[in-house]
Amino acid sequence: MNLHASTSPWISGDLDSLALLTAGRQTSLFRKDTTVYYQGDDAEEIFIVKTGRVRITTYAENGLEKQVFIAEKGALFGELSIFVDNVYRCSAVAIVDSEIYRIPVSDLVNTLQKDWNTTVYFIRSLCRKGLTFEQEILDLSFMQATHRTVKTLLNLCDQYGTPCRIDGQDGIRINIRFSHQDVANLIGSNRVTVSNIFSDLAKDGILTKDSGRYVVLDRQRLLDLLDQEAEV
């Protein structure tokens, strides 16, 4: 089964491919929960994650939020509007302490004009995000909240999972902390719905929690749930 690994909202990149943009630059340290930029700010820089994770979120006028993607090591962010209206369409917040390169738009443009390899990598990064957004639209249009949650858990297993053994049973420990609200923001649902889904998965013996981390006890059953969705 194709899990659409290339459309996971956890996006990373290759820092070596961005060396012409980062060479000689110092990083800025953004502590956990610090805002890198706000939705509506003038887009005067793009950003590259050296270490850490950054949450990219958009807000509606009524205050509701939708998490768009998570920028991991090597990921570009803040670049989606610089060639359109020069306004950030989302907010960016450090999930953990993060070292981030800040690249003025003028330096980006000069590098793209001079170096084809950087240009190709930049275009690929934009296309990767485009595929992610397209998949999110499809999921919101055709998948129920349960299946969007299951898909998120599978993505987390792929990104942060390590094999473990809990009470004599093999499992996959997801080695980052996240809340039901975090998942709800990512899948376009609400906390109560996600909490109920997690509770059902726990009752079915698919998911548990150990030392503050979620553990998937039966990855195949999560895959089967997605297969059932595809057959509907």
CB atoms within 10 A of CB 45: 21
CATH class, range 143-231 = mainly alpha
Distances (CA, A) of 166 to 153, 186, 218, 220: 18, 28, 12, 17
- Which residues have C-beta within 8 Å of that of residue 200, sequence separation ≥ 6? 146
pLDDT tens-digit readout, 64-104: 788 899 999 999 999 988 888 889 999 999 999 999 999 99
Q: How confident is the model at residue 5 (pLDDT cuts 50, 70, 90)?
A: low
Classify residue 1 as exposed, middle or buried by CB count within 10 Å of its CB (0-12, 13-18, 19+): exposed
DSSP 40-61: TSB--EEEEEEES-EEEEEE-T
Q: Which fold has domain 5-138?
A: Jelly Rolls (2.60.120)
| Tokens matching residue 91 | 């907010």
| Tokens matching residue 36 | 């890198």
In angstroms, the CA 92 to CA 71 distance is: 9
Res 17: pLDDT: 96
| DSSP character at residue 83 | T
Q: How confident is the model at residue 229 (pLDDT cuts 50, 70, 90)?
A: low
* 5-138 and 143-231 in the same fold: no
Domain map of the chain by residue range? Answer: 5-138, 143-231
pLDDT tens-digit readout, 135-171: 888 888 888 999 999 999 999 998 899 999 988 889 9
Do 175 and 181 touch, CB atoms closer than 8 A? Answer: no
Res 1: pLDDT: 39
Q: Which amino acid is at 225?
A: L
pLDDT tens-digit readout, 24-34: 999 999 999 99
In angstroms, the CA 46 to CA 129 distance is: 15
How much is the pTM? Answer: 0.82
